[in-house]
């Protein structure tokens, strides 16, 4: 059995990392626009990583596209205590679908790796002679990240580097957007430097920059006309034990993850002088069930804003920097409400280790499906 611990390094893994949800698979839609590295740097790899607990043995599972000597290759790997079972295949294209799923079949863990460039696809299946116990997040969170290729090498991203990643997790046969996303934890032996991650339009964009650990988004709720609208779009939530996606009028809602947090009621009122978009919802007036960060569309980008009390934000162009004031008791028009797709452009560049402090580790290791699944 291997022991997984956090890695301390000046380098990092840039990309779309998430964790702390029950899941049976992970899917990444990857677009490679520019994969330049600095002179002398090792080549890059784009790694879809998951760690599974198979009856007490930790298996590090990787579905990888890498670039080497002018060629693009697809690699699958399962590591157990330093021993690897791998496969390699040359591929073509700049847009890829990497999908990894796992489940128990006849008391054995079956792991399926899939690759597609949307004109050609392939599949590799591995069977482990013990059953799946859980997904392991401690030390190695799930996600798709960019690092060097092979032998724990560090790649240095070059100017112009640009790769987008759209991420999903699978639960009960359906695919959902992860409830939180971050970048910067080293979750594999390989790493990268001189990069930065940004979330907008439903994708994480990895570009040349200088960033460490970044919180890309966190789950959020706004209330308009008695309806709960959830963020990020496409994520799985529960309302009074009933699963839903994007919106509901039921009483109390909670994101589908290990964090024991729920939202209910109207606690904070946020008022704008004209309709704006927050968390993909257009209105002049929003209610927040609790103090939280929401995502305000400001021109072509969404900016995170934290609200802890009733506020009037005016003018809209200065929303991200205006001071909070109490809202008057004047009546408010809540008409002309619509829902639109949205994303985040400027990430909150903060360490999110605090986000995970207090998580019940026993709950992370033990897999227990909700009584009411979708």
The 10s digit of each residue's pLDDT in 101-114 is: 999 999 999 999 99
The residue among 351, 263, 359, 278 whose CA lies nearest residue 316 is 278
Is 362 or 18 the better-scoring residue by pLDDT? 18
Average pLDDT of span 234-249:
94
pLDDT at 200: 86
pLDDT at 139: 61
User: Both tokens of residue 291?
Assistant: 């103090």
Distance CA 196, CA 157 (A): 10
pLDDT at 137: 81
pLDDT tens sequence across 2-29: 223 333 345 799 999 998 899 999 999 9
The residue among 136, 109, 129 whose CA lies nearest residue 53 is 136
Please say whether the dihedral angle defined by the alpha carbons of residues 69, 204, 77 and 4, taken in this order, is positive or negative.
positive
SS3 content of the chain, % helix, strand, coil (to 5): 5, 55, 45
Distance CA 164, CA 31 (A): 5
pLDDT at residue 266 greater than cutoff 50: yes
Average pLDDT of span 122-143:
89
Q: Which of 166-170, 287-291, 315-319 has the lowest mean pLDDT?
A: 315-319
Distance CA 142, CA 49 (A): 6
Predicted TM-score of the model (pTM): 0.81
Distance CA 74, CA 65 (A): 5
pLDDT at 70: 85
pLDDT at 300: 65
pLDDT at residue 274 greater than cutoff 70: yes
Q: How far is CA 306 from CA 111, 181, 296, in A?
A: 41, 17, 10
Residue 349's pLDDT band, with cuts at 50, 70 and 90, is: very low
DSSP 316: G
**124 Cβ neighbours under 8 A, 6+ residues apart:** 76, 87, 112, 113, 114
Mean pLDDT of the chain: 81
Q: Are 234 and 246 in contact (CB under 8 A)?
A: yes
Average pLDDT of span 113-136:
95
């Amino acid at each position: 059995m291997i022991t997984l611990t956090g890695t301390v390094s000046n380098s990092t893994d840039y990309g779309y990392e998430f964790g702390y949800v029950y899941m049976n698979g992970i899917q990444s839609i990857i677009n490679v626009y520019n994969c330049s590295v600095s002179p002398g740097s090792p080549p890059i790899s784009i790694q879809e990583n998951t760690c599974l607990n198979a009856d007490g043995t930790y298996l590090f599972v990787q579905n990888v596209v890498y670039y080497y000597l002018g060629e693009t290759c697809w690699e699958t790997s399962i590591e157990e205590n330093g021993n690897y079972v791998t496969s390699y295949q040359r591929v073509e294209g700049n847009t890829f679908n990497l999908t990894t799923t796992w489940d128990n079949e006849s008391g054995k863990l079956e792991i399926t790796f899939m690759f597609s460039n949307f004109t050609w696809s392939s599949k590799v299946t591995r069977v482990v002679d013990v059953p799946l116990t859980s997904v392991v997040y401690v030390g190695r969170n799930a996600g798709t990240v960019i690092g060097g290729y092979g032998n724990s090498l560090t790649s240095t991203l070059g100017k112009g580097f640009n790769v987008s990643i759209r991420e999903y997790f699978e639960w009960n046969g359906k695919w959902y957007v992860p409830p939180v996303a971050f970048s910067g934890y080293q979750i594999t032996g390989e790493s990268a430097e001189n990069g930065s991650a940004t979330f907008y339009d439903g994708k994480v964009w990895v570009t040349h920059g200088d960033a460490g650990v970044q919180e890309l988004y966190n789950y959020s709720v706004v209330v308009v006309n008695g309806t709960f609208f959830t963020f990020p779009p496409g994520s799985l939530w529960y309302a009074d034990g009933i699963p839903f996606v994007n919106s509901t009028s039921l009483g109390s809602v909670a994101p589908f993850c290990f964090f024991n947090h729920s939202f209910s009621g109207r606690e904070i009122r946020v008022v704008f002088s004209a309709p704006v978009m927050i968390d993909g919802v257009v209105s002049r007036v929003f209610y927040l069930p609790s103090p939280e960060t929401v995502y305000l569309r400001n021109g072509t980008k969404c900016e995170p804003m934290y609200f802890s009390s009733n506020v009037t934000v005016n003018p809209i162009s200065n929303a991200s920097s205006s001071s909070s004031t109490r809202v008057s008791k004047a009546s408010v028009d809540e008409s002309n409400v619509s829902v639109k797709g949205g994303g985040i452009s400027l990430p909150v560049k903060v360490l999110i280790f605090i986000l995970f402090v207090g998580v019940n580790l026993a709950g992370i290791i033990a897999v227990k499906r909700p009584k009411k699944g979708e």
